[in-house]
Amino acid sequence: MDIQHNGHEQDAAAERMQERQTALQHLQTMKQRSTEAGVAIAERVATAAEALIAMPPPSIDAEREVLDTVFRSLDVMALLVHDAGRRQQGYPPAALHEAVHMLLEQMERIKPKSH
């Protein structure tokens, strides 16, 4: 029974590590696109999300929260880059300030405090 249980834990840990790698690759791509589009706030979101991925989570629940937040940051970054392109075409800016602010606050809450 213990061998089977350990196998499931190892599979779950490998899956979480793969999710982290995938998220990191997407973050790096979006960070590059943000830089190219001149969207500094998206770069700030990417840097904060990269810091979350780099930290070891204290629990599986914390791991899920980290990954959910990182994937949400990718969505927000995509919206910011898209909005920058639309503004270049003469459209008014989207109301994304509050979403970015709330996301950055959430990332700050998740990060462990240094002592």
| Chain segment 70-85, per-residue pLDDT in tens | 999 999 999 999 999 8
- Sequential DSSP letters for 23-56: HHHHHHHHHHHHHHHT-HHHHHHHHHHHHHHHSP
Within 10 Å of residue 49's Cβ, how many Cβ atoms?
Answer: 28
> Tens digit of pLDDT for each residue in 41-95?
998 999 999 999 888 876 778 888 888 999 999 999 999 999 998 988 999 988 8
Query: pTM of the entire structure?
Result: 0.79
